Amino acid sequence: MTVVIDPSFDPAPSLAHQTQVVLGSAADLDAAAARACFISAEGDLPSCECVSGLTRDELAAAGFTGKSGQTLRNPGDTLVVFVGAGKEPFTAATLRDAVANFTRAANESATLAIDLGGVIAAGLDAREAALAATEGAILARYRFEPLKSEAKNVLIETLTIAVAEGDREAAQQGIDRGLVLARIAGLARDLGNAPGRHLNAVNLADLAVKLGGQTGLEVEVFDRAAIMELGLGGLLGVNAGSAEEPRMVKLRYTPEGATDATPHLALVGKGIMFDSGGISLKPTHAMGSMKMDMMGAGAVLASMTALSELGTTSIVTGWMMCTDNMLSGNATKVGDVLTIRGGKTVEVKNTDAEGRLVLADGIVLATEEAHRPDAIVDIATLTGNAMMALGLGTAATLANNDQIAAQLATAAEVTDERVWRLPLDDRYREQLKSNIADLSNIGGTYAGAITAALFLNEFVDDVPWGHIDIAATMEVERDDVWRSNGSTGFGARLLAEFATAFEKPSQD
């Protein structure tokens, strides 16, 4: 290594800080440095002291009408931030957004307070309200700063949430769950934000061993020799041009009392630590975010660290397929044929369509488990076509089983990590034909997100399966409510909620 990397670099710095979220009463709110005051766009102003003496006309003169997304700071001994609540009662998603807006408006304050009494009285469940508020505050204050000489972000030390006495038990449940989900999203963001030189496949495997030991996971790491013995031709083919070793990491969560009848879910994550495109070299403008091409594997790892705390009752096995995709004299060439685990051959017509090659190996391994999984879900930053189809705010899902697709959609709605199902249209399968191998790794010009999923579907061996393409949602270029600039950590919370609520599907 010819560059200097601080040996103390921590690829998961967000885990070093734990925000304290405490329940209080309305009387406790002014003890914080900043408190929120939610104001709707219509109707009377709240009857609290925060707006005492103010009128809607006076607030409007300051540019605040209560529209969703608006904030107005009112300095005092305690900073009061008026937060626009819009015209409709809060949902969990809109409350999460509103709390995030408050947190950003009070970005210099380490102690925050929120009164959820009115929100709950208006109909939002106390557990869901407290969960959303906890997530919104912590995720909005996230920053990745371990490589800066001076960290400027003010971390939240204490968040006080006020609820009525009768809602305290439910609210505490929401806080506890929100802290876990915010933590794993922060971890997934850390992994996506870490530069490829600082976080390679070996480093990520080492971190998985460390975190697995702390969270009740069995962790097995496979080095290059073990990968060769397993015949993982996709992973080895992508790694061929790299100076860095590949790693496959197998994670296993087993709930207490599990038997052969316990539902078994398999998760497979794409872990391309940096994607140059290989011989099919990416243009410079498309390469800048390719340190995040491992966010599928990051989401699998982060989500699985939460399963025990969330009380997951299914067995969950995860495969992280990790390497970088680099250009060198040893790199896989366009036109080469790779043999995937299980024997299927793939003609590589584009070395930048590498994610599906490593996922194929992982999916085959999942199907070979002695306790065959009841479903497989893979997650990957896979195609630009998904981005072109759905924009930057929605991930694509495809599935060979309607029940798996529905369970993924439910988890997406709960977490506000939005997905949209595309058709697994077998009429496009023709595009994957090869003259010299069983399959090509790309199809034609159009429907690339669908043909990528059809490629993966070739390896699932009739197991119910879902695919999440997070290429569009892996990052935001500027703060977007609770999504902080950089890696979004998309998929970690979604997979955790999906796995926790997982139900064995029937075969479609």
Return the half-sphere exposure (C-beta side, CA atoms, 13 A cut-off) of residue 376. Answer: 27
Q: How many residues does the chain have?
A: 508
Q: Would you say 85 and 40 are in contact if contact means Cβ atoms under 8 Å apart?
A: yes
Per residue, the 3-state secondary structure of 21-35, as one string, reads EEEECHHHHHHCCEE
pTM, entire model: 0.97
Taking alpha carbons only, the member of 455, 344, 466, 352 closest to residue 400 is 466
Listed in sequence order, the DSSP H helices in 41-167 are 56-61, 92-105, 117-121, 126-140
Residue numbers annotated as active site: 282, 356
Would strands 395-399 and 419-421 be described as parallel, antiparallel, or unpaired?
parallel
Going along 277-401, which residue ranges are E strands? 315-325, 337-339, 345-347, 375-380, 395-399
Instruction: Write down all domains in the chain, each with its CATH number in brackets.
Output: 13-183 (3.40.220.10), 195-500 (3.40.630.10)
Say if residues 103 and 483 touch (Cβ distance below 8 Å).
no
Distance CA 205, CA 193 (A): 17
Backbone angles phi, psi at 113, to 5 degrees: -145, 145
**In Å, what is the CA distance from 222 to each residue of 202, 312, 381?**
10, 26, 23
Taking the C-alpha atoms of residue 127 and residue 232, their distance in angstroms, rounded to an integer, is 45
Q: Rounded to 5 degrees, what are φ and ψ at 220?
A: -125, 125
311/302 Cα distance (integer angstroms)? 16
Beta carbons within 8 Å of 442's beta carbon, 6+ residues apart: 349, 350, 353, 432, 448, 451
Supply the pLDDT for residue 2: 56
User: Are the C-beta atoms of residues 304 and 492 closer than 8 Å to each other?
Assistant: no
Instruction: Single out the residue of 419, 411, 418 nearest to residue 501, CA to CA.
Output: 411
Cα(403)–Cα(426) distance, integer angstroms: 19
**What is the SS3 string spanning 260-282?**
CCCCEEEEEEEEEEEECCCCCCC
Pairing mode of beta strands 111-115, 79-84: unpaired
DSSP summary character for residue 294: G
- Rounded mean pLDDT for each run of 10 residues along the chain, 508 residues in total: 77 96 88 95 85 89 96 94 95 98 97 96 97 98 94 95 96 98 98 96 98 98 98 98 97 97 98 97 91 98 98 98 97 98 98 98 98 98 95 97 98 98 97 98 94 98 98 96 97 98 86
Q: How many Å is the Cα radius of gyration of the chain?
A: 24
